[in-house]
């Protein structure tokens, strides 16, 4: 599937504002993929489809999580997390994307997981630092992203966890596990 086909499919699923965000994520993902020697076509495709299910009704997403036997823990956490795993499922089912690396990058772009692949980190980070993002700390992560993928990635994870905790919001267990595994791996090295 080429870029134009993918963008046409996605545009039907998103608001104009979210589509503009998606274009920003796509450009950022391609730039990061080039910088860190990752497959740019996979990065582009995952970026285009990363928010595919963002505006699906919550009840539909909940039912897909149950029917597809996804991690039931998701249901106990904020529904903002749901669009990533549900999106990966729907992108495969509705858009015919079969590449597991692309689907995993979509699936884990909100919660993360221990042992993230380079492509998964790129999509997670591109979503965080795309040009339309303006929250405190994003510029520091953008600068880090030009120096070290891993340093930028872990900084974005720390910022996300801190943000959620500062608002007394729960943090998905896989996000803490991802943080811990990354830090423990770094300590060993």
Give the CATH number of the domain where residue 147 resides.
Answer: 1.10.3210.10
Q: What is the pLDDT of residue 188?
A: 63
- Please tell me the distance from the alpha carbon of residue 37 to that of residue 31, in angstroms, as a whole number: 10
For residue 166, give Cα distances in angstroms to 26, 136, 172: 30, 13, 15
Phi, psi (deg, nearest 5) at residue 87: -60, -45
pLDDT in tens, 71-92: 999 999 989 999 999 999 999 9
pTM of the model: 0.95
Confidence of residue 129 (pLDDT cuts 50, 70, 90): very high
| Count of structural domains within the chain | 1
Confidence of residue 189 (pLDDT cuts 50, 70, 90): low
pLDDT in tens, 33-75: 999 999 999 999 999 999 999 999 999 999 999 999 999 999 9
Structural domain containing residue 150: 3-187
């Amino acid at each position: 599937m080429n870029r134009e086909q993918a963008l046409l499919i996605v545009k039907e699923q998103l608001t104009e504002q979210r589509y503009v965000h998606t274009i920003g994520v796509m450009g950022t993902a391609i730039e990061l993929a080039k910088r860190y020697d990752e497959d740019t076509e996979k990065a582009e495709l995952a970026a285009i489809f990363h928010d595919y299910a963002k505006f699906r009704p919550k009840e539909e997403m909940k039912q897909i999580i149950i029917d597809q036997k996804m991690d039931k823990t998701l249901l106990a956490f904020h529904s903002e997390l749901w669009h990533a795993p549900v999106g990966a499922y729907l992108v495969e089912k509705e858009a015919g994307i079969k590449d597991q690396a692309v689907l995993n990058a979509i699936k884990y772009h909100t919660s993360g997981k221990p042992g993230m692949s380079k492509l998964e980190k790129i999509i997670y980070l591109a979503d965080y630092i795309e040009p339309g993002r303006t929250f405190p700390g994003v510029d520091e992560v953008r600068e880090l992203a030009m120096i070290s993928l891993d340093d930028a990635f872990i900084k974005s994870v720390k910022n996300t966890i801190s943000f959620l905790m500062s608002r007394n919001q729960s943090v998905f267990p896989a996000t803490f596990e991802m943080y811990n595994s990354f830090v423990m791996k770094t300590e060993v090295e």
